[in-house]
Amino acid sequence: MAKRATGIYLRTGTNVYQWRIRVPKDLAALYAGKEWADRRTLSTSNLAQANRLAAGLYATWLTTFDQQRKQLSPKPAQALTPELIQFLAENFRHDAITLDHWVRTEGYWAKDTRLQGMPEKLATELTDYYQQQHALYSRAMATSNIGLALPALEDEASKLGLAVDENTPGFEDALTAMLKAMRESVEAGLERNKGKTVPTPPAPKLKEPEKVYHLRDVFELWKEADGRKVTADAVRARERALMLFEEFTHNTPIAEVTRQQGNAFKAWLQTRKEASKTVFDRLTYVKSLLNYAYRELELIPRHPWDGITIDYDTETLRKPWTTAQIAAFFAQPLFTEYALPRLQKRSGADAGYWIPLMGLYTGARSSELCQLHVADIVQADGIWVIDINENAEGKTVKTKASRRLVPIHSELMRLGFLDYLAATRKAGHERLWPQLLLRAGKPSHNFSKCVVV
């Protein structure tokens, strides 16, 4: 069954999917205590369609949150271009004249005297204010006192998440344009005071360059997707493949990734000294991210590497140990003197001694032995056996056929395994190796790093 993407849920009594996204904690002040930044119906009961819609909304809102964070923490503007200067000046003019309109029509006085219009006293005060400001701005323009416009310029720039100063290219041109916009705004107010109709200018639009997405952006969106209960190992594996992609392509934007690059990347991977299955996985992980960008995020019009694959050996031949190698391994102080590994917190103390021996005498996998519980050591028809199962939370076996009973060799009993079992049970431990740290998905990972086999 398909899993729901980030934010998707169902209301009680309906099969139409809804979507919502929570206000980030660091932006809470911008939303006046609201819990949700957006809540809406997706108008579909088809989960696949809902997931596609939700992925697009999620990406859009992440961009919005980034823009709001920029406003809270402005970054130095690289340059004040003519287009940006024009936008800043026009936006100031729009906001100022819009505020004047509000004061005249919907101000604090309007509730009681709306039909009579703005009180005469307020109209006089407004005229006096505009005349003073007009004289101030005109004098500033006559004397090139463009610094008077600095607070207004800084305020407008901060709305875009930008910080400006005298070192910003185009700074003086921006101040001049802003001062002119300030005077034009009060001139509009004065004309309105004369009874003339002065329309409020429309809000300007700044054409922002389209965001350039890289595969790492896609990876972050995939990683954050709700319901994708992948293991930490799976995330790390994809990131390792991503890093190889970045190294080979020099981090090409996903919109510019070509099929030729895919074939070249495949050939490059095959030159690396890695197992063919590992090389296959690397390519597959990168392809999965490109597919996510195409199908879920709709950031690219097609999957450029669809169909590119690598053949790999389905079985890795492992040479069996020789009798001499086995003898040399078990001649280590670990087994002759019970000298446990130094990193006992990771190797599991006593596990470092018993697991290799149990592997030798039972043929069980180290991953199976690492996750054993005390209750897994039982007697069947008077014979002590290991019950390899996945009955407890977190326990796994490779295949269904892996669930089995394995007799405990008499040599293990002679070495004191049953005494160890009794002591562990008496201490109240549930797991047979209570000090062994297990890693989700790879229970033998820490053990194998500390016990040299």
**Which tens digits make up the pLDDT trace of 250-270?**
999 999 999 999 999 999 999
Residue 378 pairs in a beta bridge with 385
Given CA atoms 132, 105, 31, 296 in this order, what sign does their dihedral have? negative
- Rounded CA-CA distance 288/343 in Å is 37
Task: Name the amino acid, one letter, at 53.
Answer: L
In a domain, residue 45? The reply is yes
110, 68: one domain? no
| Domain match, 67 and 109 both | no
Q: Which residues 6+ apart lie within 8 Å of 48 measured at CB? A: 2
CATH number of the domain within which 232 lies: 1.10.150.130
Q: Do 51 and 28 share a structural domain?
A: yes
303 belongs to a structural domain: no
**Last residue within a domain, chosen from 132, 161, 193:** 193
**Are residues 394 and 415 located together in one domain of the fold?**
yes
Alpha helices in 225-299 (DSSP H): 232-249, 259-271, 276-291
Structural domain of residue 262, as residue ranges? Answer: 215-296
Of 73, 91, 122, the domain-final residue: 73
Are 82 and 188 in a shared domain? yes
Q: How many CB atoms lie within 10 A of CB 151?
A: 10
Give every strand in the sheet of 377-380, ordered side by side. Answer: 377-380, 383-388, 404-407
More confident call, 415 vs 73? 415
Report the pLDDT value the prediction gives residue 398, as an integer from 0 to 100: 61
Average pLDDT score, the chain: 87
Cβ partners under 8 Å of residue 245, min gap 6: 215, 265, 286
Nearest to 45 by CA among 79, 13, 21, 73: 13
The answer on 222 and 181 residing in a single domain is no
At 330 the pLDDT is 87
pLDDT > 60? residue 317: no
Stretch among 156-160, 290-294, 425-429 having the lowest mean pLDDT: 156-160
Q: Which of 145-159, 228-242, 247-261, 392-406 has the lowest mean pLDDT?
A: 392-406
Overall pTM surpassing 0.75 (yes/no): no
pLDDT for 110 equals: 57
Length of the chain, in residues = 453
In a domain, 316, yes or no: no
Question: Could you give the CA distance from residue 151 to residue 92 in angstroms, rounded to a whole number?
Answer: 12
Query: Residue 327, class by beta-carbon neighbours within 10 Å (0-12 exposed, 13-18 middle, 19+ buried)?
Result: exposed
Per DSSP (E only), the strands in 174-233 are none
Helix, strand, coil % (nearest 5) of the chain? 55, 10, 40
Shared domain for 229 and 348, answered yes or no, is: no
